[in-house]
Protein backbone atom coordinates (compact mmCIF):
# COMPACT_ATOMS: atom_id res chain seq x y z
CA UNK A 1 0.00 0.00 0.00
CA UNK A 2 1.41 3.35 -0.97
CA UNK A 3 0.59 6.91 -0.07
CA UNK A 4 0.46 7.85 -3.78
CA UNK A 5 -3.34 7.62 -4.00
CA UNK A 6 -5.14 8.18 -0.69
CA UNK A 7 -8.48 6.42 -0.25
CA UNK A 8 -10.12 9.67 0.86
CA UNK A 9 -9.31 13.33 0.50
CA UNK A 10 -9.47 15.92 3.24
CA UNK A 11 -12.47 17.53 1.48
CA UNK A 12 -14.46 14.30 1.92
CA UNK A 13 -13.57 14.12 5.62
CA UNK A 14 -14.55 17.75 6.22
CA UNK A 15 -17.55 18.22 3.90
CA UNK A 16 -19.19 14.78 3.70
CA UNK A 17 -18.21 13.04 6.94
CA UNK A 18 -18.01 16.28 8.98
CA UNK A 19 -15.24 14.86 11.16
CA UNK A 20 -13.41 16.36 14.09
CA UNK A 21 -10.87 19.06 13.30
CA UNK A 22 -7.39 17.50 13.40
CA UNK A 23 -5.97 20.78 14.62
CA UNK A 24 -2.19 20.82 14.38
CA UNK A 25 -2.00 17.11 13.49
CA UNK A 26 -0.52 16.25 10.08
CA UNK A 27 -3.46 15.25 7.84
CA UNK A 28 -1.38 13.10 5.46
CA UNK A 29 0.07 11.15 8.38
CA UNK A 30 -3.36 10.63 9.97
CA UNK A 31 -4.88 9.46 6.69
CA UNK A 32 -1.98 7.11 5.95
CA UNK A 33 -2.02 5.56 9.44
CA UNK A 34 -5.79 5.09 9.17
CA UNK A 35 -5.28 3.37 5.80
CA UNK A 36 -2.76 1.03 7.41
CA UNK A 37 -5.31 0.14 10.10
CA UNK A 38 -8.06 -0.33 7.51
CA UNK A 39 -5.77 -2.61 5.53
CA UNK A 40 -5.10 -4.59 8.71
CA UNK A 41 -8.85 -4.95 9.39
CA UNK A 42 -9.47 -6.17 5.82
CA UNK A 43 -6.71 -8.79 5.76
CA UNK A 44 -4.60 -6.51 3.52
CA UNK A 45 -7.20 -6.24 0.76
CA UNK A 46 -6.01 -2.74 -0.11
CA UNK A 47 -2.43 -3.89 -0.59
CA UNK A 48 -3.53 -5.26 -3.96
CA UNK A 49 -6.83 -3.47 -4.63
CA UNK A 50 -8.34 0.00 -4.77
CA UNK A 51 -11.77 1.35 -3.91
CA UNK A 52 -12.71 1.01 -7.59
CA UNK A 53 -12.26 -2.78 -7.29
CA UNK A 54 -15.19 -3.01 -4.87
CA UNK A 55 -18.34 -4.12 -6.68
CA UNK A 56 -20.91 -1.94 -4.91
CA UNK A 57 -21.00 1.80 -4.31
CA UNK A 58 -22.35 1.09 -0.82
CA UNK A 59 -19.16 -0.87 -0.05
CA UNK A 60 -16.96 1.95 -1.35
CA UNK A 61 -18.89 4.41 0.81
CA UNK A 62 -18.61 2.12 3.87
CA UNK A 63 -14.82 1.94 3.40
CA UNK A 64 -14.60 5.74 3.22
CA UNK A 65 -16.75 6.04 6.34
CA UNK A 66 -14.58 3.48 8.15
CA UNK A 67 -11.46 5.39 7.20
CA UNK A 68 -12.97 8.65 8.49
CA UNK A 69 -14.01 6.96 11.74
CA UNK A 70 -10.47 5.62 12.19
CA UNK A 71 -8.99 9.08 11.56
CA UNK A 72 -11.40 10.60 14.07
CA UNK A 73 -10.42 7.91 16.58
CA UNK A 74 -6.74 8.79 16.13
CA UNK A 75 -7.56 12.47 16.62
CA UNK A 76 -9.44 11.65 19.83
CA UNK A 77 -6.56 9.49 21.07
CA UNK A 78 -4.13 12.29 20.30
CA UNK A 79 -6.24 14.76 22.28
CA UNK A 80 -6.34 12.42 25.27
CA UNK A 81 -2.60 11.81 25.08
CA UNK A 82 -2.02 15.55 24.95
CA UNK A 83 -4.30 16.10 27.95
CA UNK A 84 -2.38 13.43 29.83
CA UNK A 85 0.93 15.14 29.14
CA UNK A 86 -0.39 18.50 30.27
CA UNK A 87 -2.24 17.41 33.39
CA UNK A 88 0.05 14.67 34.62
CA UNK A 89 -1.98 11.66 35.84
CA UNK A 90 -5.38 12.10 34.21
CA UNK A 91 -8.00 9.58 35.34
CA UNK A 92 -11.07 10.44 33.24
CA UNK A 93 -11.96 12.70 30.33
CA UNK A 94 -15.04 13.06 28.16
CA UNK A 95 -16.00 14.93 25.04
CA UNK A 96 -19.54 14.63 23.71
CA UNK A 97 -20.44 10.94 23.46
CA UNK A 98 -16.84 9.85 23.98
CA UNK A 99 -15.48 9.18 27.44
CA UNK A 100 -12.11 7.91 28.55
CA UNK A 101 -11.26 6.39 31.89
CA UNK A 102 -7.80 5.28 32.92
CA UNK A 103 -7.92 2.17 35.06
CA UNK A 104 -4.63 1.36 36.72
CA UNK A 105 -5.48 -2.35 36.74
CA UNK A 106 -5.87 -3.34 33.09
CA UNK A 107 -4.69 -1.67 29.92
CA UNK A 108 -5.34 -2.75 26.34
CA UNK A 109 -2.31 -3.67 24.30
CA UNK A 110 -0.88 -0.97 22.09
CA UNK A 111 -2.09 -2.84 19.00
CA UNK A 112 -5.74 -2.98 20.08
CA UNK A 113 -5.75 0.43 21.74
CA UNK A 114 -5.59 2.05 18.28
CA UNK A 115 -8.41 -0.06 16.78
CA UNK A 116 -11.62 1.88 16.25
CA UNK A 117 -14.60 -0.39 16.86
CA UNK A 118 -16.78 2.09 14.96
CA UNK A 119 -14.50 1.77 11.92
CA UNK A 120 -14.59 -2.02 12.13
CA UNK A 121 -18.39 -1.97 12.45
CA UNK A 122 -18.67 0.28 9.40
CA UNK A 123 -16.97 -2.49 7.37
CA UNK A 124 -19.23 -5.25 8.66
CA UNK A 125 -21.62 -5.41 5.67
CA UNK A 126 -18.88 -5.14 3.02
CA UNK A 127 -17.56 -8.69 3.42
CA UNK A 128 -14.04 -7.30 3.82
CA UNK A 129 -13.80 -8.55 7.40
CA UNK A 130 -14.50 -12.14 6.35
CA UNK A 131 -11.48 -14.39 6.87
CA UNK A 132 -12.66 -17.13 4.52
CA UNK A 133 -10.72 -18.61 1.62
CA UNK A 134 -10.88 -16.84 -1.71
CA UNK A 135 -12.99 -13.88 -0.64
CA UNK A 136 -11.16 -11.50 -2.98
CA UNK A 137 -12.01 -13.32 -6.21
96, 40 Cβ separation under 8 angstroms: no
Domain boundaries, the chain: 10-124
Write down the pTM of the prediction: 0.74
What confidence score (pLDDT) does residue 53 get?
93
Specify the long-range contacts of residues 22-28, CB closer than 8 Å, at least 24 apart.
22/71, 22/75, 23/75, 25/74, 25/75, 25/78, 28/3
What confidence score (pLDDT) does residue 83 get?
44
pLDDT in tens, the chain (137 residues): 444 689 999 999 999 999 999 999 999 999 999 999 999 999 999 999 999 999 999 999 999 999 999 999 999 988 555 544 544 455 677 776 677 776 655 555 555 578 999 999 999 999 999 876 555 55
Amino acid sequence: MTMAEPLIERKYYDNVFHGLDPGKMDWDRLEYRAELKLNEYTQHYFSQHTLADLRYESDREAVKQALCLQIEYFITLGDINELGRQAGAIKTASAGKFSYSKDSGSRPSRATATNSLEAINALRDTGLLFRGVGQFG
